[in-house]
Amino acid sequence: MNVYDFTVKTRKGEDVALSDFKGKVLLIVNTATGCGFTPQYKELQELYDADHEKGLEILDFPCNQFANQAPGSDEEIHTFCTGRFGITFPQYAKIDVNGEQASPLYQWLTGNTTFGGFKGAAGLALAPIVKKMDKDYKNNGSIKWNFTKILIDREGNIAGRFEPTDPMNKVKEAVEALL
């Protein structure tokens, strides 16, 4: 099984087979508009601008599971992101990334990745919040917070996972190594 076995919904409710992205490097991100990590949209757009022509696609999945930081409809979220950050990469329908209602894509992603640990001051602040939601958070693959990034190689296989506190230059290095 790989990422190409899944279908997702656009923000307008249309099905998109991830097999449409065969041969591309994918960065799959669960996002939120009201999060301390929301400014990462700017860095994601810069990465997309730099590497889209080389074969990078960023797949943005808004998620409201972490402190209700992605309120609003799919269109409201899209309007915010394009207006504030000028994003041009595809945004998909809002989804759950954990739990019984998690999208099949994220069930597969979290079942095949592990938590990499939080980094820096933001990680020190985030760890106790996450621990309240999941006492065993360090030992499972669930998504811990908004802006977790999962990297997929050109063959549709998971190539890495980056927590929201990981520096974007590390994400960029990993993406460019696959390109």
Residue numbers annotated as active site: 35
Determine contact, residues 146/30, Cβ cutoff 8 Å. Answer: yes
Q: DSSP alpha helices (H): ranges in 36-119?
A: 40-51, 74-85, 104-111
The CA distances from residue 43 to 39, 88, 123, 154, in Å, are 7, 12, 19, 22
Over the range 36-48, which residues count as b (16 or more CB within 10 Å of their CB) and which as e? bbbebbebbbebb
Angle at 119 between CA 118 and CA 121, to 5 degrees: 110
